[in-house]
């Protein structure tokens, strides 16, 4: 297991987890969201080939009401 920082929270996930799997692990939706890995946006097409490493900082965002 490795520790990552997902939306500011420390979380344990299995080694070699890619971004598609990451969303599944946390039961997160995969549509109309975006993922930033260490301050770089990862294109949706690259999620299956992007693996998370120890200490990575991820932001997973969606849309909410706003002005």
Q: List the interface residues with another protein, window 7-36 (CB under 8 A).
A: 7-9, 11, 26-29, 31-36
- Closest CB 3 distance from another protein, rounded Å: 15
- The reply on whether position 59 binds another protein by CB under 8 A is yes
* Among the listed residues 44, 62, 52, the one whose alpha carbon sits nearest the alpha carbon of residue 11: 52
- Closest CB 21 distance from another protein, rounded Å: 15
Question: Could you count the other beta carbons within 10 Å of the beta carbon of residue 22?
Answer: 24
Burial of 10 (0-12, 13-18, 19+ CB in 10 A): exposed
- Closest CB 25 distance from another protein, rounded Å: 10
């Amino acid at each position: 297991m490795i520790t990552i920082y997902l939306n500011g929270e420390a979380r344990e996930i299995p080694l070699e987890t890619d971004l598609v799997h990451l969303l599944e692990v946390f039961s997160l939706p995969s549509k109309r969201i975006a993922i930033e890995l260490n301050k770089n946006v990862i294109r949706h097409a690259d999620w299956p080939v992007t693996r998370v490493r120890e200490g990575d900082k991820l932001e997973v965002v969606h849309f909410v009401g706003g002005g």
